[in-house]
């Protein structure tokens, strides 16, 4: 019933939503793509922003910078996000993309809430454990992630956000405009396919002798395999207790193999819209996590937690999965 009411409200407000979608699309193509600012960074950001507006997951920083980003200025924020949030709150509907931590097994519609919940737990476990907690927090491919501005209570930690200059600079500008304190964050410019991010980190004050947690969310699928392996090797050079939270597409999805030919084509086309390209996926096996474990063997890292979109009972191999990886 709540879903039907939500749909009815959205139909009534459809003129606002349609104009908002057109305007948002124009800003992506006109501003983000032309200035080489990541367009794909907006998808997880928009999902977390919607969870905040719908009241299912608190993210004050995400809400505050909305209105100051190249993709979301105040008008697009109102026409799209606030309008959908109004429909959600008025109807009481919190399902699919609004839910947190989301349904299990997750689906294509709820995968972003699943992904968000997985990494929230991964970060909290590493930063708050009693035995050898991480004392440095690195966000690789930071995009518009706001977790450095919503750390667990009592945590005093040095944060590093690493990304390409256009995206990073647009975020810094938004943080300043929104009045969000960010003195505890060091912003590091790099290109993951062209140079070693560790060198850039070290030059920015990162201490490779300290236990570190690395969030590597929504990045691997856009890199070449050599860059993936190089990054895993660099993680393995950190002290014991260091960890990385990361997500991967499956090789079947990336390559368009059955039974994922259709969704693969749709995924590649949608990413091309942002002038980006999907390049890497992990081979899956009957044990589901076997392909990822094989990838980690060469780096001497350990897969500690593994979840994927879909059900354990599915006959099809997973096409998208999340991992917490430890340096033991």
Q: What is the count of structural domains for the chain? A: 2
Give yes or no for a contact between 278 and 284, defined as CB atoms under 8 angstroms apart.
no
Same domain, yes or no, for 124 and 90? no
State the pLDDT confidence band at 193, using cuts at 50, 70 and 90. Answer: low
Same domain, yes or no, for 158 and 37? no
pLDDT (tens digit, 9 = 90+) per residue, 199-219? 899 999 999 999 999 999 999
Of residues 38, 35, 21, the one with CA closest to residue 273: 38
Residue 206 included in any domain: yes
pLDDT (tens digit, 9 = 90+) per residue, 35-88? 988 888 898 999 999 999 999 999 999 999 999 999 999 999 999 999 999 999
Residue 103 included in any domain: no
Which of 73-82, 161-170, 258-267 is predicted least confidently?
258-267
Rounded to whole angstroms, how far apart are CA atoms 131 and 136?
A: 15
Same domain, yes or no, for 159 and 78? no
Residue 319 included in any domain: yes
Same domain, yes or no, for 81 and 60? yes
pLDDT value, residue 285: 63
**Is the pLDDT reported for residue 287 higher than 70?**
no
Determine the length of the chain: 328
Same domain, yes or no, for 170 and 274? yes
pLDDT value, residue 53: 95
Residue 36 sits in which domain range?
Answer: 2-98
Same domain, yes or no, for 174 and 267? yes
**Is the pLDDT reported for residue 303 higher than 90?**
yes
**Is the pLDDT reported for residue 163 higher than 90?**
yes
pLDDT value, residue 313: 63
User: Which positions ≥6 away from 184 have C-beta within 8 Å?
Assistant: 148, 157, 158, 159
pLDDT value, residue 135: 94
Same domain, yes or no, for 86 and 170? no
Give the residue from 66, 98, 130 where a domain finishes.
98
In this prediction, residues 250-278 reach a mean pLDDT of: 86
State the pLDDT confidence band at 144, using cuts at 50, 70 and 90. Answer: very high
Same domain, yes or no, for 207 and 122? yes
In 114-200, beta strands by DSSP E: 136-140, 158-163, 185-189
Same domain, yes or no, for 87 and 116? no
**Is the pLDDT reported for residue 192 higher than 80?**
no
Does 3 or 286 have the greater pLDDT score? 3
Same domain, yes or no, for 76 and 204? no
Residue 144 included in any domain: yes
């Amino acid at each position: 019933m709540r879903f039907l009411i939500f749909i009815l409200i959205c139909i009534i407000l459809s003129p606002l939503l349609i104009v908002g979608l057109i305007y948002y699309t124009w800003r992506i193509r006109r501003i983000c793509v032309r200035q080489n600012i990541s367009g794909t960074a907006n998808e997880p950001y928009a999902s977390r922003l919607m969870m905040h507006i719908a009241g299912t997951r608190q993210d004050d920083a995400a809400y505050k910078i909305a209105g100051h980003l190249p993709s979301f200025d105040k008008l697009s924020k109102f026409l799209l996000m606030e309008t959908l949030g109004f429909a959600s709150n008025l109807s009481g509907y919190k399902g699919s993309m609004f839910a947190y931590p989301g349904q299990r097994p997750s689906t294509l519609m709820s995968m972003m809430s699943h992904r968000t919940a997985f990494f929230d737990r991964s970060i909290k476990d590493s930063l708050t454990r009693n035995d050898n907690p991480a004392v440095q927090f690195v966000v690789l491919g930071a995009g518009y992630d706001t977790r450095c501005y919503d750390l667990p209570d009592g945590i005093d930690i040095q944060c590093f956000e690493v990304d390409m200059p256009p995206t990073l600079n647009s975020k810094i500008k938004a943080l300043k405009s929104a009045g969000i304190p960010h003195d505890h964050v060091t912003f590091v410019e790099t290109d993951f396919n062209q140079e070693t991010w560790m060198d850039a980190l070290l030059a920015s004050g990162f201490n490779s002798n300290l236990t570190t947690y690395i969030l590597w969310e929504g990045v691997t699928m856009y890199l070449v395999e050599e860059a993936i392996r190089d990054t895993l090797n660099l993680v393995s050079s950190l002290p014991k207790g260091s960890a990385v939270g990361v997500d991967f597409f499956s090789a079947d999805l990336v390559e368009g193999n059955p039974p994922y030919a259709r969704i693969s084509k749709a995924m590649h086309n949608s990413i091309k819209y942002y002038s980006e390209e999907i390049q890497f996926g992990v081979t899956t096996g009957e044990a589901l996590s076997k392909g990822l474990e094989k990838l980690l063997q060469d780096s001497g890292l350990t897969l500690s937690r593994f979840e994927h979109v879909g059900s354990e009972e599915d006959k099809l191999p997973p096409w998208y999965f999340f991992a917490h990886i430890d340096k033991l």
